[in-house]
Amino acid sequence: METLPLILEPEQLEPLLGSSELLIVDFSQQESFLSAHVPGAVYVDFKRLLAGTPPAPGGLPSIEQLTALCSEIGLTPNKHVITYDDEGGGWAGRFIWTLDVIGHSKASYLNGGIHAWAKEGHPVSQEAEIATATNYQIKQLNQAVIADKAYIIKRHLEEDCIIWDARSALEYTGQKVFAEKGGHIPGAINFEWTAGMDSEHNLRIKTDIAETLDQLGITEDKEIITHCQTHHRSGFTYLVAKSLGYSRVKAYPGSWYEWGNSPDTPVECP
């Protein structure tokens, strides 16, 4: 199989269905998956991507948990993962990041997810796929794509670093608060995740998003650290930055849940 791009269009995937070299993973709501999914797709509950425990419930699960998940869905080092969801790329992007963390680089996002796939006439299935379990081994974690609280405290105001806040404008300004403290990390740039989705083209990534980000100062020459509340929405923004070829992209899985509840973190409000 030829090398597949990170952002894969539905018409590129359809002729590849049934290939033993692919693993298609669906992070939609279960009701959506049961109604219609890409033939051969394996359903995964998005909660499997989260630690689920304080002080950072959005944090990375343990290596043991990740190993179990990868083995259950039938991942092997030579399989190319195609992932999607029903919301425009948040959970699928979080999975792309997770695969980067465990060193599995063969992965693509189905642009527009199930919306683009089903609405544009590609075949759908209602049959649950039973994966053939494997014994996937995670050797080490790729720290280059992970930012923790201490790292951001050190780096957030340096000129070559941009904090990309994917939350809503009301969360960013502190008008809507989901932690002990409201507001944002000082110097962070707010670009809400759904603003990068094209509602007129079945939630595909907007084709002009590079220009929009450039105008905001989120540029490829900087280290980009993206976050939201639990690194769900910022799964999409991580995916976008990676798709644009930004070479230094990290995600902060602790996100605002950890930052906004920590006594030692600086917070800015307009």
Summarize pLDDT for 74-117 with one digit per residue, the tens.
999 999 999 999 999 999 999 999 999 999 999 999 999 999 99
Q: Which amino acid is at 149?
A: K
Q: How confident is the model at residue 1 (pLDDT cuts 50, 70, 90)?
A: low
Tens digit of pLDDT for each residue in 109-126? 999 999 999 999 999 999
Helices (H), 174-245: 209-216, 233-243
Burial of residue 52 (number of CB atoms within 10 Å: 0-12, 13-18, 19+)? middle
Domains assigned to the chain: 7-119 (3.40.250.10), 143-259 (3.40.250.10)
228 is catalytic: yes
In 78-152, where do the E strands start and end?
80-84, 107-110
* pLDDT tens by residue, 40-59: 999 999 999 999 998 999 99
Percent of the chain residues past pLDDT 70, beyond the cut: 100
pLDDT in tens, 142-158: 999 999 999 999 999 99
Q: What is the pLDDT of residues 208-227, one digit of tens each?
A: 999 999 999 999 999 999 99
Mode of pairing for the β-strands spanning 249-251 and 223-227? parallel
Average pLDDT, stretch 190-195? 98
* Catalytic-role residue among 70, 161, 228, 269: 228
pLDDT at res. 128: 85
What percentage of the chain exceeds 90 in pLDDT?
96
What is the per-residue burial (b if ≥16 Cβ within 10 Å, else e) of 181-201?
bbbbbeebbbbbbeebbbeee
Nearest CA to 242 out of 160, 146, 145 is that of 145
Residue 110 phi/psi, 5-degree rounding, is -75, 105
Whether this model's pTM surpasses 0.95:
yes
